Amino acid sequence: MGITKIAFVALGLLILYLFVTADTSPASCNHSCSTSELDVLSCSSASLTTNSCCVESPGGLLIVAQLYNFNPGLGPGDSWTMHGLWPDLCNGSYPSSCDPSRAYTDIPAALKRYKQYPLLEYMTEWWRNDPIVTTENGTDADLWAHEFGKHGTCMSTLHPDCYHRYQPELELVDFYSTSVRLFKELPTAEFLAACDIIPSNATTYDLADIEECLSDATGGFTPHMGCSEITGYLNEVWYYGHLRGRIGGGTFEGTNSTFKSTCSATGIRYPLKLNSGY
């Protein structure tokens, strides 16, 4: 066999080897985001023409939702706790449960598989289920699963095709770690305490004062304040913002709420927790 023929045979075998061993799964064909793509802000005009693996689209209006659970008193001390991270559409409406095939159920097991022990420990303390507010019956872990199934599956940058060498449930790490990170960046109890708005069974507060306090603490943006329909007590806050980049590692930039407060203008109760620290 001539040298030229041997070379062609060797080349053919090499090409065959590369084809057989290549990772051709959808995750291996992910879009590699450029620096400029990761700098695009969700809901901006540029987001309409940017790959949805690199910017949240169409659900680019993010909400960091927190709870104040006074009865039972969930979470450490007088702190607020986590409710979720939600991707609303840019017009204020929202998608829901976008991919039933990824409605994962055993969140603790998935996080342990990826060795996310500190993350799971933090969630166990700070992401508590209050069915009266969340309307999700069950355990804290049931709430975590509900939040990803309803909201996380609608986040474009968490789609499995956006990951290189995707592994099952890998996107959960980004969803929960970013939810925790943004919760830490918005310490509601500390913000309010700095304005002398603290839990009390004797004092009431005006909505305008609460909104002004949180607006000043977050760059001039007014969040949504929620109060119980039954008691009128303060129990929820939603911080609105857009995201620059992907859910995993993106930068949250605040904006004003698109949803009217459910609290009265005056006489808002912000009571001490029962069994505080439970």
Write out the catalytic residue numbers: 83, 147, 151
Contact by Cβ (8 Å): 105, 99: no
Q: ∠145-151-155 over CA atoms, to 5°?
A: 120
What CA–CA distance (Å, rounded) separates 103 from 142?
11
Contact by Cβ (8 Å): 161, 54: no
| DSSP E strand boundaries for 144-233 | 204-205, 224-227
Distances in Å between the Cα of 50 and the Cα atoms of 43, 77, 119 are 11, 43, 31
Contact by Cβ (8 Å): 104, 149: yes
- Provide the β-strand partners of residue 243: 252
Q: Residue length, the chain?
A: 278
What CA–CA distance (Å, rounded) separates 269 from 207?
10
What type of residue is 12? G
Q: ∠134-137-141 over CA atoms, to 5°?
A: 85
